[in-house]
Structures are given as structure tokens and as C-alpha cells.
Structure 1
């Protein structure tokens, strides 16, 4: 939640841009991919995020306050119904919460290291004159180029071509069983993003259902997106449908009325942020991005884990996945 709450503080003038960049500039959707620029390397990124905040009716701070009251009320009900158990349950929850915070604190520092690695490669590219070609080399090969041996650069064209080819494909399934041909899988309109089983001959279904990750029911227009950059076009109140999310997607959550993902469970990023903000969420559907189209009117029941198409879009949208 840090990047989103920090952005709201920036909008209110409580912090300046330099402070925001130092605190959150290393976090993003591709933070563990050294070749990808950090969001704040784009001079217009913060301005776009601030502009998007202006379209939100209720900021994250207000939503968090409402969820805090609901959580307190839930503890009160538990104490009233199970007075002898509440202390042990609260202790267990506090222990796991502390563990989760430690995990996230560690993750953010690791992301800083990846930004440092990126800075090193960019600087090495400047010094050697090889530029961003160095992103296609190993550490040892980069050091060799810095030492005056340019032979490793001969491998760059083939590696770049392979990279671009695989990058054009959808995100691979989380679990793959049996022989897997990425191109054939990507061309299959019935593909699932959560798993691939070469031995499974079960007919594909149009039903979209998954894990009930955050309670509540929402109806609205679906917006199917593959990347967080595409997600910047989301209009307030739309329902986000995507493969999977991470911290780089967090600023989008105050604009949406619900979220549906192909991949994820109750402790995934989408689930946690949705619960923090009180947004219905159904995750781990597997086929949401192949069964729902941008423009469909859908109902998301985050308590039951179901997603129903109430009215199909009049025409297929070019933004649909």
C-alpha cells in the first residue's frame, strides 16, 4: 500500500517529489527485471499517477479507515461469541501479520538492489559504448566487455530476437505438466493462465470462478488488461480483469470496483490489497482473461468466488485480452 498512500500524500503536499522517489521509486511491476526502467525513470509517470488520483471519489486513506472499523467490529463479535478463544486467535494473527510485514520489508530492500544492478549495467554500457546490449549478457560477459573483450557482444542479436519472441507471448501458466509448446498454447483461445496439463482432455468451460478472496458484490463494466501500463486507461468504477498483479498495480485499485485474476490465492497481492480497500475480489480463475471481454457487464461475488457475465459487449474490443 505504500506507493499508493505515498502518492496521496504527495498530492496533498505533505511530501515532495524527491521524497516520494527515494521512498517508493524502486517499486514497480517489473522491479525484479534489471532491463526494465523503474517507473520514476519516466519523467511523466508521477504526473500521470497524480492525474489519475484526481478521478477517484474516495481515496485509499478513507477506505482503510472504513476497513479498520470493520475489522475492529469483527474482533468485538469474536470476543462476544468466543471469549475464551479470542486471545489465542489474536496472538496468532499478530504473529502472522508481523511475519508478513517482515517479508515485505525484505522484499522492498531487495528491489532496491535490483535498481542498483540496473544502474551498474547502464553505466557499464556508457563506459564500454555497448549501451543496453549489455542487458543480454551475463555478469562475467559484461566484465569481459569492460575489460576490452567485445566478443560476447556477438551473441546479442540472437538473444534479443529470442527475448522479443517470448516476450510477445502471454504470461506462462504457473504450473506446467507435460510437453509444452509456448506458441501453440498462446494461440489456444481456451488456454488457462494458472495451469497447463498436456494430458488433460477435459473440455473447456465458459464458467468463470475462482477463490473468494475479498467479500462483497460488484456489478460493472469489465476492463481486461495484460499489463499495468494498459491499466492506466481504466475508468473509475470499472472491474479490472487481468492475469496477475503485483505492487506496481496498487495505484489502480482506488479506481476499480472489483478485481478478477487468472492467477492467485488468498495471500496474493490482488487479494490483500482488495481486502485492505474493501473491494470484491475473485482470484485464481484460470480463464478469466479468455472468457471475459472489455466492455462486458459482469457481476463479481467476492464471497462466493463467482463471476457472471450479465451482458456481453456489443462488439469485441481491441483492448480485450
Structure 2
């Protein structure tokens, strides 16, 4: 395998028109020429599972905070035996990851330290998790309390009388710093439990592989499925609202009118008002939910685009009117979980082995819900508030003439916003125009051109020489990157009608493919099509009732796409590497979620 390698990032040129792209990101996030030898010795893969699009400069804050915080827990807090942090770079606007392993001779020393540190969290999981919820809610409340307002013509007389001795520019800058600080804190909390959730699952996974030779990965995953998690609550709320509309006899109004007209019409009747009350109640916090993944300033949140959840309710309602069942098959999933668990447990001959199995699966089930749950509180709810507050700040700049579009602020790095704030405050203080309105629009246009040019080219799947064997457990579990999948990428130039990925959720179906490249295209999905996409977001769950199966380019057994599909009993193959470029909309395909195979049966 080592004879084959991917292109070096140093030889991979940016598309025409993107010259100078490197200066849009911090120096430590891009490949530096003087470090060529070091960087070419590492294997980097594109993390399009979390960051599928080119970064605007400000949006890169999410990868910077997330990967730094993920890494510190592995390397410095838990001392996870085989895994340190993850090195990452932005190249031609996309995110590339390189997991940092632990030297084999150092692994043994870390084991007792890991057991002591992680053991404390595992023993006190529920209390610590309760405290975590308080901390995260506290951060969200602090973010909500931050206000960004344009500078006044004169300082308020009350400030004079109060001897405050500061001016509004001080608070404007302080509030910006506070928001960045709270965002950073949010990402620290994000990873406080997450890596332990994966570690407990990996421990159980390793035990099963040793105890039951030949056990499929999918069978192990099924033993922890059927958990009730808050991440599914937004979708549950939509189903409840659909059923309520039918119950109250307002289904025709909800199903057949667009949002504004429907809400207006519902006010006219008592039952309509009852439905509206329930709609209002569901919004907070469950509509702080994005169609993306919370990592980009352009992500659309339900609470700000109410037509999105309303559209899903209409879909559910139309299915209910036809007499269809729209419930998630929770009982069947739990029954399958219990059946498989019992079968494998009973095959262990000795009591000691059974006790070890019980302890490991018990821990995995306690901690596993967090693997999905944190997602709602951090990526969805907290980041919804963060991006909204950043747009509030941007609106101040728009009003001051710095740029014309509220999204233009995100073309500047987070530390550059300080310069904009100071320029704005300086002009205000001196009674002269700020420089920004004459300088910034040209700079925004230049940067826009670069980002648009970078967005014309798809990212390379990986750089440099892959390891002879991919063994790092997080890389396999989360991203679905195995020796086999890397080999598949290397041969991806070869035309094929057969793709191999992870057997992520059981079941075998045939159907027509629909390739979806962004959440905005979800409306194109027709009943009983097969969703083919780079990666799914948890908020796509409401379309799962429509489709037959899911196929993704990236993602392992523990990726969100895999977990959500298992909980919705939807066949899925993840981590194929090239499904979205190999399969075309309209192709008839076969998806075998039990073996991880996808076959194009008939081209469109």
C-alpha cells in the first residue's frame, strides 16, 4: 500500500482567482513552506463530515476551537492511551485532519492514569452531567444577555451623573470579546464528556471483538441503540404538532397554506389558537436547531427560518391524512437491541465473562446518549445564539456603512474584528468619519472573490502517504477511515458501479438515488428515494420517513449519520469516499446496510 500515496498539499495548487488565500486564515492553520519536510511526513484526510464547505475567515473559529478542545482532553486531561490530539490545517479553504498517535512504548504508562481520571467521571457520570447541563445553560444565558447597539450621538446623561468614566465603545469591544470567550468555553464543555463516551464504547467494542471472534461491527453498535436522546426531540415535537393539528381538526389549514397565511388563519378559531400555543411552546428550546451542523455562519436555524420546521410538519401531516404511521420504530429497535444482547451474553460460558460483559455494556449505555445529546446543546442551541449575536454586531457595522450585507463581517478573521471596532469607535470619538466605509467594501469584494474561487474546486480526500494500517480508534469509529477506505480513495479515478463503505445501519433496499449537496436541496427528495450525500445532519431526521436508505461519503459506525439512521431503522452505508461523485440523481441503486455495499444497478 505504501507505494501509493496522495498528492502533497505543497503540490496541490489553489484554483485560479484564489491567489493569496492563505492570508485569510491564521498562520498556524495553513501549511508553511519552511515546514514542508515535517508536514509531508504526516497523513492528512479531509474532514468533510464536520466541515464540508470552504471556510470564510471568521467561520474558521469553529474548527480552531473544536479541534484544540478535543485534543486537550485526549492528550492532557484523560491521557487516552492510544490517542493524543488531532493536528489540523486549512488547505485551499477546506479542513484536513491528522490524528496524533501515542508512541507504542508510552501507551502502557498512560493506562493507569486514564483509568483513574476517566474512572472518576464514569463513577460520577450522572452528577457531573447534571452539572454540565447547568454550565452549558449558563453560557447560553450569558450569550443571550449580550447586546450590540450602534454608538449614540452623545453619551447618556445618566452615565455622566453616575461617574461611570467609560464610553459605549468600551462595552462594544468588551461584549465582542465576551462572545468569543463564551464560544471558546462552549467548545471546552462540548468535549468534556464526548471523548469518554467514545472511549467507553470502544472499550466495549474491543471486548466484543475479543470475546466473540467474527462479530460484525454493526451487531456491537446495535447493542447500544434504542436510547432516548434530546437530539431527537425537535423532530418529536414536529410529529406531535402534526398529530395535534389532525386531532384539533385544523389539519387542512396547516397542511395547505404557507406559513404566514396559516398562522394568521389559525388565530381565528379556538382550536387554531390551541395549536398555535403548542407551536409557540415547542419553539423554545427545540427550534434552536440548524439544517447544517452549527459550524458555519450561513447555517440556517429553524427559529429564524420557521418555514423549515413548518414545511416538515406539513409533510408529516399529509402522511397522517393518508393514514400512514409517522412514529419512529422505537419499540422494534429496542427489541432488536435486547435480542442481540441476550444472544451474545448467553454465548459466554463462564459467569466471570458474563459479569465483565454486563459491566462494559452497562457503562456504554449510560454514557452513550451523550455522544448524540451534546450535539443539541452545543452545535445547535449554543451556536444558534452565538451566530445570531454575531449578526447583531454585524448589523451595527452595516448601519455605520462598513459593508452592505450582514454576512460580510464573516470575511474577516476573529482578531481583525477588533480593528473594525476600533476604527468605528475612533471615528465616533473624534467626530470624523471612520475609515472603514471607504476601505472595507473593496476588501470584502476581494476576499469574496477568493472564497468563491476556492469553492469551485472539490477538496482532495487526503494528502501524503497513508499509514500501512489505520489503527487509531477514533479515526475509524467517527470518520470511517480504514485501511480499506483509504485504498478506495486511491483508486477513485477508476470507474466503478460498486462502492464499499461502513455497514452502518442494517437492511437491504433498491431505489432511485437523489444526490443532495446542501440542506437547501432537501425539498427535492421524493417519496421512497435513496438519499446520497457527503454527510447528513441530525436535523435532516424529518425527511427519514420519506426515504428508503442513506449513503454518505464520510463517516464511521459512530458518526451522527450512522447513529441517527439506526435509531430510525433506515438502512445506511457511510464512509464510501465517493458516493456523491460516482452516483447520479436518477440512478437505480442497491444499498446493503448490513454489508456496507452500494451497487449502481442502472444509470439514469
Q: TM-score, normalised by structure 2?
A: 0.44
CA distance in 2, matches of 1:36, 1:145: 29
Q: Distance in 1 between matches of 2:561 and 2:285?
A: 22
Give, in whole Å, the separation in 2 of the partners of 1:98 and 1:62. 17
Structure 2 CA distance, aligned partners of 1:252 and 1:293?
Answer: 20
Note if contact 2:526-2:546 (Cα within 8 Å) is conserved in structure 1: yes
1:62 and 1:102 map into 2 onto residues whose CA distance is 18
* Equivalent pair of 1:35/1:135 in contact (CA under 8 Å): no
Aligned 8 A contact 2:505 2:572 in 1? yes
Q: Secondary structure at the match of 1:220?
A: strand
Query: Are 1:58 and 2:333 counterparts?
Result: no
Higher helix proportion: 2
**2:569 maps to which residue?**
278
Match of 1:6 among 237, 250, 273: 237
Which of 262, 282, 294 is the equivalent residue of 1:31? 294
Larger radius of gyration: 2
Q: For 2:286 and 2:394, how far apart are their aligned partners in 1?
A: 21
Q: How does 1:1-321 map to 2 (within 5 A)?
A: 1-13=232-244, 16-28=278-290, 29=292, 31-56=294-319, 57-59=324-326, 61-82=327-348, 84-85=354-355, 86-101=357-372, 103-104=374-375, 105-129=377-401, 130=403, 131-132=405-406, 133-138=408-413, 139-144=417-422, 146-147=424-425, 148=427, 149=434, 150=436, 151-170=439-458, 172-173=459-460, 175-177=462-464, 204-206=494-496, 207-313=498-604
The match for 2:78 is: none
Contact 1:214–1:280 (CA under 8 A) maintained in structure 2: yes
Structure 2, unmatched stretches of 5+, are 1-231, 245-274, 428-433, 466-480
State the Cα distance separating 1:270 from its structure 2 match: 1.2
Q: Taking CA–CA contacts closer than 8 Å with sequence separation of 6 or more, which of the two structures ends up with the larger relative contact order?
A: 2
C-alpha change, 1:106 and 1:33, in structure 2 (3 Å) is closer
- Give per-residue Cα distances to partners, 1:75-108, cap 9 Å, x unaligned: 3334433362442232232244154256334444
Query: CA, structure 1 residues 204+49, in 2 after alignment: closer, same or farther (shift >3 Å)?
Result: same
The CA deviation at 1:37 is 4.1
The answer to which of 142-151 and 259-268 deviates more is: 142-151
Task: State the secondary structure of the residue aligned to 1:229.
Answer: helix
Measured in 1, the distance between the counterparts of 2:513 and 2:499 equals: 13
1: CA distance between counterparts of 2:569 and 2:237?
19
Q: Tell me by how many angstroms 1:26 deviates.
A: 2.8
Shift of 1:116: 3.7
Q: Distance in 1 between matches of 2:339 and 2:510?
A: 26
Question: What do the CA deviations read for 1:207-258 (whole angstroms, capped 9, x no partner)?
Answer: 2111111111111111111112112211121110111112232222221111
TM-score by length of 1: 0.80
- Shift of residue 2, structure 1, vs aligned partner: 2.7
Q: CA RMSD, aligned part only? A: 3.0
Structure 2 distance, partners of 1:108, 1:46, is: 14
The offset of 1:289, in angstroms, is 1.4
Q: Look up the SS of the partner of 2:463 in the other structure.
A: strand
Name the residue aligned to 2:222: none
